[in-house]
A and B are shown apart, each in its own frame.
Chain A
């Protein structure tokens, strides 16, 4: 009996002690103090490779308070990073459009804000594939029409999922099965001949092409559907450590400038190769810098690097939010007014006397890869 009372008292003490800590805020220390940051980033998503550059070149070291440390945690898709950020386990996340937007609608769990637009394109997250033995198609429209009634896969909750559903909606295509599968399962699915089509992002898209596992038949360019990558940050980090937020965005600016310089294309691929497994350098280079034919959904500009949340980026967020609400992916038709914070990046660009976009990544011919 005595031990039961002791256990009850212990539980009450634990509950009481726990109450003294603020429920949802993470303590990041005071401005100027060293910080230990947990960053979720995506080396397996080329549109968000500014994170790979920051990590590979250690750019953060120049901009964060001396003595700070950063853990770069790989997320195989953005939603995994969002879950970690909502739980307070990561504070900065590199995300595709869908997870970046969804993340800002979960205020009851965690308060996340979109602070930077790190890439806008048409064929980085929005790439359509069909199985190798599919008929020859004259264009992407024909290919997507062929997917009607077929088995198509995409990782749900990803930017590719948003694109796929938007295109199916636009073209009135109803796949027989629209499967939620991870990129690895999709790769195995094509290998085993179990999929008719898939919608994926780079660099896995290029790897499928180079391994001859599937045929690339279109992209966002074929359907006028943009893709986008963003940085989300926890609101408590923004509130407590403006110095860290500014420092990180300075590093981001430098990374985007590095990406925009065509001379760095191969070294970016090398940085990505060092932070991934199972990818050849050529595939990584081609994923962000290489050329694809218009028939495959190729574009002359692979990626625009806005840095700032430009009107184009804001319009993309607005349009995507409406769509995500329509398909019941989020429970609100409009994001909270402060979900997107354009002033942070705008201020930094102003200080540097720069304008958005920072630059563009133009598609390079095969001969440029050395």
Chain B
């Protein structure tokens, strides 16, 4: 390897270290840590020290931590057990498939809903009628209409995400100033080109907002969807811990779901920011960045 070959790698390393240093200098990091510390402190204080009414019956912070990090957990689930990671991986796989489906179907449907009045007139009333139906109401039909055990779970997780993505995308298209499309038309752009070069990029900020909502909604739906899975998954673990009255495990599953949900949302946000650097620049120029 020559010195020239090594230079890009060194530059990337320097950039990463610089970002890390920046993060440590940034008050946001300390405020976030303080936020978590306050939450845990409030939990410990109200449940174990002050033993406030209602709070006193909650699982104690120390009991949850002891179980979570125990090599021999009383209820069989901790960071040292294989089953814990199996639950996480199964949920991640289901979320991944459901989110990919919701994005690949929701974005085109949303674009069409916003772009074509005829399509909107046909589809939107049905869309709005189906959207408020809760996931739990779909459970019996999902079991009967879809084959296998996994498909109904993925379908239920997908549903709410799909509606969030499609609706935000539609709103994104409708938020675009019509004069942009008219200007492009006057300059001779075809309808397809206007769609591809004006409408889709213009709707991107809404689409990515929708995707962030969508990934969060997918995690919400997971608990309901995994009620029918019967085994594995964080939603399943929450539900089973409830029916078997194993509160420390229930809280472990909730926090694990929260941490992973937060990470996936952050990932979607990062991808969105990377794909929309023009938008970041625009916001900065507007003084809102």
Q: Which residues of A contact B (CB under 8 A)?
A: 15, 18-19, 21-24, 77, 79-80, 82-83, 86-88, 99, 102-103, 106, 108-110, 151, 153, 155-158, 177-182, 184-185, 188-189, 191-192, 194, 328-329, 331
Contacts and interface: CB of A to CB of B under 8 A. Distances in A.
A21 B54 CA distance: 10
Contacts of A331: 74-75
A185 B60 contact: no
A177 B149 CA distance: 11
Given A24-B56, A108-B63, A157-B244, A328 B228 contact: no
B51 interface: yes
Interface in B140-160: 140, 143-144, 148-149
Interface of B: 46, 50-54, 56-60, 63, 74-76, 139-140, 143-144, 148-149, 227-231, 236, 239-240, 242-247
5 contacts: A110-B57, A153-B230, A177-B231, A185-B227, A188-B143
Given A108-B63, A157-B245, A331-B74, A19 B140 contact: no
Nearest to B46: A15
A18 B227 CA distance: 36
Contact of B143 (A109, A110, A189): A189
A369 B59 CA distance: 49
A83 B247 CA distance: 10
Contact of B239 (A19, A24, A180): A180
A188 B142 CA distance: 10
B143 A77 contact: no
A155 B52 CA distance: 33
Contacts of A102: 244-245
A200 to B, nearest CB: 14
Contacts of A21: 53
Nearest to A26: B53
Contact of A109 (B149, B242, B247): B247
A151 B149 CA distance: 10
Contacts of A179: 229-231
Contact of A23 (B52, B59, B148): B52
B162 to A, nearest CB: 23
Given A87-B54, A157-B244, 10 more contacts: A15-B46, A23-B53, A23-B56, A77-B243, A86-B245, A109-B247, A110-B57, A177-B231, A179-B229, A188-B139
Contacts of A155: 243
A79 B245 contact: yes
Interface centre among B76, B227, B230 (most CB of A within 10 A): B230
A188 B144 contact: yes
Contacts of B231: 177-180
Given A109-B247, A179-B230, A24 B57 contact: yes
A38 to B, nearest CB: 16
A191 B144 contact: yes
Contacts of A177: 149, 230-231
A79 B242 CA distance: 8
B243 A88 contact: no
A114 to B, nearest CB: 15
Contacts of A23: 51-53, 56
A180 B243 CA distance: 10
A109 B144 contact: no
Contact of A329 (B63, B239, B244): B244
A86 B57 contact: yes
Contacts of A82: 245
B46 to A, nearest CB: 8
A194 B243 contact: no
A156 B227 CA distance: 11
A267 B236 CA distance: 40
Given A179-B230, A180-B231, A189-B143, A22 B239 contact: no
B144 A192 contact: yes
Contact of B50 (A19, A22, A184, A194): A19
